[in-house]
């Protein structure tokens, strides 16, 4: 039977062992966690100290460009094509797994919300 441990517990134990220098064996016995499991957590923590931070789901992102109440009936064909191109670009970026903050003339910042290899 597999046990599921709280992310906060994992983070706390790894922090105590890696940063504070607590004993791995004593910590495993005290919190009733298998030693091998604790060692896997420590390995992950050593590779990336933020591995047990709250995961951001793609559904957690709010739209950066707040939907404008555009009346599409009043737009010309060129304006409609421009709006459609913007939407297509945003969809392509979301499919690739990133969003862009500060669009336009400001410096663009790409935010990845997937840990998958992008190649």
pLDDT at 25: 93
d(CA 23, CA 40): 15
Res 80 pLDDT > 80: yes
Q: Higher confidence at residue 51 or residue 22?
A: 22
Instruction: Tell me the per-residue pLDDT of 10-41, one tens digit each, with 9 for 90 and over.
Output: 999 999 998 889 999 999 999 999 999 999 99
With a pLDDT cut of 90, the percent of the chain lying above it is: 27
With a pLDDT cut of 70, the percent of the chain lying above it is: 68
d(CA 112, CA 54): 15
d(CA 10, CA 45): 9
Instruction: Tell me the per-residue pLDDT of 107-118, one tens digit each, with 9 for 90 and over.
Output: 555 555 555 555
Q: Tokens for 92?
A: 């392509």
């Amino acid at each position: 039977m597999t046990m599921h441990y709280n992310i906060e517990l994992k983070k706390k134990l790894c922090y105590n062992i890696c940063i504070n220098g607590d004993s791995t064996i004593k910590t495993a016995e005290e919190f009733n966690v298998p030693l091998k499991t604790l060692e896997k957590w420590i390995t992950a923590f050593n590779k990336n100290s933020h591995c047990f931070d709250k995961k951001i789901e793609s559904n957690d992102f709010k739209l950066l460009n707040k939907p404008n109440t555009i009346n599409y009936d009043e737009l010309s064909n060129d304006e409609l094509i421009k709006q459609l191109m913007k939407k297509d670009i945003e969809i392509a970026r979301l499919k690739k797994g990133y969003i862009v903050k500060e669009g336009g003339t400001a410096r663009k910042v790409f935010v990845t919300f997937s840990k998958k290899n992008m190649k």
